[in-house]
A and B are shown apart, each in its own frame.
Chain A
Amino acid sequence: MNMFTPSDTRINRRQALKIGGLTVSVAALVAACGEDVQGDTAPGRVGYAPPVTDPPEYAVDDAVLLRTASSLEYTAIEVYGAAAELADLDASTQTLVAQLVDNHQAIADEMGALTEAAGGVAWECTNPWLDNRLIAPLVEAIKASDNPARDVLNFAVAFENLAASTHQVLSVQLTDDAAKSATLAAAMLASRHSAAIVVLTRGADGYISPALYGDGVPTDPDGVPYNFAVTDRFGSVGQAELIVGAADVNGKRTSFLLQTPAENSFVYNELEPSC
């Protein structure tokens, strides 16, 4: 007789697992379907974390949207100021940049007047959220770049695209007719800015993106995508990627995502000026 032959009356490991699993499942089902369960329905907290506080609920009205538009224009002016320090721009590019700064200041002034007409206080500073999370790290990356002139131009194009997208969105979101028209005009002007920078630096090679035909966007020998004046068939409001800075040991450069302002970057009426 084999002493190690399992007996039919004993429960083997597989059967034990089946029975155990079934028991737990039925218990969970019964508990879930039970009525009049008492106790806290909030999930338990682990550790000494302070109680969760809800963020304040600030209204998003026309004044907030216009203050945000103003903040973007002042940020653009700051971007061009930084660009002039980061790279040696030729005379024609300097002339273009001076014109772009004048145009952004004019839009900022108009947005400020519209803000006050909407009952708000005009915002005359850069956008704090963009400053901290985008502009400052971008400038640092460009300072370390092996090709700051290229990065500065790409930065300017990307920021004009961001301004165009933002004003395009705002033109639909705003309720006041004058504000809607002004932001639509600003969207067109920022689009002209972006296209002009590309056309004046790349010529006919930069006219039309292959993306219009569903093809990929070509890159330069360093792997940085080329810019184009006409990037899409319709004005895009999606996020855009900007690659700048020096390559690391793997040949990769720093990538930044530019997104149109939203709840986290709006300049609320409650926000105090930062300049």
Chain B
Amino acid sequence: MTPKGHSLVDLESAEHATSRRSIISALGVAGLASAITLAGAKTASAAPFSPTADDRATLEQALQLELTASRLYADALAAGLTGSAAEVAQAFGGNHRTYADQFAAITGISANTYNTAAYDARKNDFATSDVTQFATAAWELENSSAATYADLFDGFEAEQSQTVVASIVVVNARMATVLADLAGVSDDLDLLFDPPSEIITLTEQP
């Protein structure tokens, strides 16, 4: 019978087949060789995933900064903030408490100590029911926290340290924008997008 065009089913081998056992043997050797190569490459270039000892020391200071911020927002609420300002203080204080817990989770360090110097420098500005005073102080805190983390960022060795810090600073920036509006300075686009900030001195660990 004369064939009529191509068969609809490709029954030809793409390449010469070998036995299953020989394929498995070959894959095993190749896999082992690849694993050895990758292991060597990882030690040479890849960043560790979990925080290193140096990271943990810095993250402990960051944890204390977050507890400081949480405490300052709690002071503002206790001073009698109401309305939108109170909602902001409640939410942002909760955010900072969550960040402290996250740092504790990835370092194994207890979240129970705050940065007394950073707290003392700001406590009077936060302990107020005046919305503008509170918002201005909190705006400065969020911008300075973001600047502090940005300054520390390159120093983190582990991927997890960098990932967590990066995910916090972007929310610092969002919170600062809300606070700028609450403080009445959001019409100034230069202040909104390039706000003044100072790097916060972190507490040295013994």
Q: Which residues of A contact B (CB under 8 A)?
A: 35-42, 44-48, 95-96, 99, 103, 164, 168, 171-172, 177, 180-181, 184-185, 187-189, 191-196, 199-200, 203-204, 207-208, 212, 229-235, 237
Against A, the Cβ 8 Å flags (1 = close, 0 = not) of B93-106 are 01100100010000
Q: Taking CB as reference atom, which chain B residue is nearest A51?
A: B14
Against A, the Cβ 8 Å flags (1 = close, 0 = not) of B134-165 are 00000000000010001001100001001110
- Determine the distance from Cα of A181 to Cα of B146 in the docked complex, in whole angstroms: 12
Contact B171 A230 (CB under 8 A): yes
Considering only residues 1-51 of chain B, those with a C-beta below 8 Å from chain A are: 6, 8-15, 17, 19-21, 23
Contact A199 B177 (CB under 8 A): yes
Among B20, B23, B87, B189, contact of A99 (Cβ-Cβ < 8 Å): B189
Is B168 positioned at the interface, with any CB of A under 8 Å from its CB?
Answer: yes
Q: Which of A103, A180, A185, A233 is packed against the most chain B CB atoms within 10 Å?
A: A233
Contact A212 B17 (CB under 8 A): no
Q: A208 and B88 in contact (CB under 8 A), knowing A44-B11, A181-B153, A235-B166?
A: yes
Q: Taking CB as reference atom, which chain B residue is nearest A34?
A: B20
Contact B171 A36 (CB under 8 A): no
Q: Taking CB as reference atom, which chain B residue is nearest A48?
A: B6
A-B contact count (CB 8 A): 144
Contact B84 A207 (CB under 8 A): yes
Contact B166 A208 (CB under 8 A): no
Contact B153 A184 (CB under 8 A): yes
Contact A181 B150 (CB under 8 A): yes
Contact B171 A191 (CB under 8 A): yes
Contact A196 B170 (CB under 8 A): no
Among B9, B84, B88, B150, contact of A46 (Cβ-Cβ < 8 Å): B9
Is B178 positioned at the interface, with any CB of A under 8 Å from its CB?
Answer: yes
Q: Taking CB as reference atom, which chain B residue is nearest A96?
A: B189
Which residues on the B side are within 8 Å of A196 (C-beta)? 177, 186, 189, 192-193
- Determine the distance from Cα of A222 to Cα of B80 in the docked complex, in whole angstroms: 38
